Amino acid sequence: MDTAAKRTIVDIRNVHKSYLSGRVERKVLTGANLTIAEGEFVVVFGPSGCGKTTLLNIIGGLDRATSGEVWVDGVDLSKVKASDLSQIRREKIGFVFQFFNLISNLTAAENVELGLEAAGRRGDGVRKLSLSYLEKVGLLGEADTFTEHLSGGEQQRVAIARALVKGPRLVLADEPTGNLDEENAMRIAEVMMSLHRDIKSTFIVVTHNQSLAQIADKVYYLSRGRLMGA
């Protein structure tokens, strides 16, 4: 992808993150730097416990860096108050989690509608838009099925539709294929890539799944608290 004319949407500058466990300081990120242009599909690899989820949570405003700058869509999240962070998450960021985080006693369509309602979207168009995104992920026929009756791969597709239905500028996916077999994992990868082309959002995916490198614009490895390009 030619990114020369594209603006930067994520800019991580010398980010450190550590946690206290009793009296012991555990350093997770130790000077991480990352620049992502608008519309890119970026994959971050790394072993379990290396800090991939922490990195994603910091970019998404779910966690704070210990030090450094975290710029998302022109805003330094390290200087934003909590209420404004919540608004940024609602309006600009879509999250896809490994464990789906669906409400099992709601239908697929109702779960997707929650993505719009969380962003303050209500009214007659909500149902129609939710159905259109279920169609994009190949699940229009399951719109009225309770998600507890769907397979793992189908549940993850509902979760992706929920994350993207509000048209976020940035999509953050944390091990989206981690709970799935190889066939369903590839289906999820194909769905994310199709939606990426369709809605032009920026994707950052952290994963163990090496096959996702084949569809990425950029690949990074997180090791010893720092990001390295492939």
Give the whole-angstrom CA distance, residue 113 versus residue 4: 36
Distance set, CA 83 to CA 7, 64, 80, 198 (Å): 26, 14, 8, 31
Q: Structure pTM?
A: 0.89
Please check the confidence at residue 171 and state whether its pLDDT lies above 50: yes
The pLDDT-based confidence of 107 (bands split at 50, 70, 90) is: very high
49 contacts 210 by C-beta, under 8 angstroms:
no
- Indicate the SS3 state at residue 98: coil
Domain boundaries of the chain, sorted by first residue? 8-229
pLDDT at 230: 59
Average pLDDT taken over every residue of the chain = 89
Nearest Cα to Cα of residue 135 among 168, 166, 112, 102: 112
Domain 8-229 fold: Rossmann fold (3.40.50)
Give the whole-angstrom CA distance, residue 221 versus residue 229: 6
Please tell me what DSSP assigns to residue 190: H
The pLDDT-based confidence of 229 (bands split at 50, 70, 90) is: confident
Query: Beta-strand (E) ranges in the chain?
Result: 8-21, 24-37, 41-45, 67-72, 75-76, 93-96, 170-174, 202-207, 218-223, 226-229
The pLDDT-based confidence of 1 (bands split at 50, 70, 90) is: very low
172 contacts 139 by C-beta, under 8 angstroms:
no
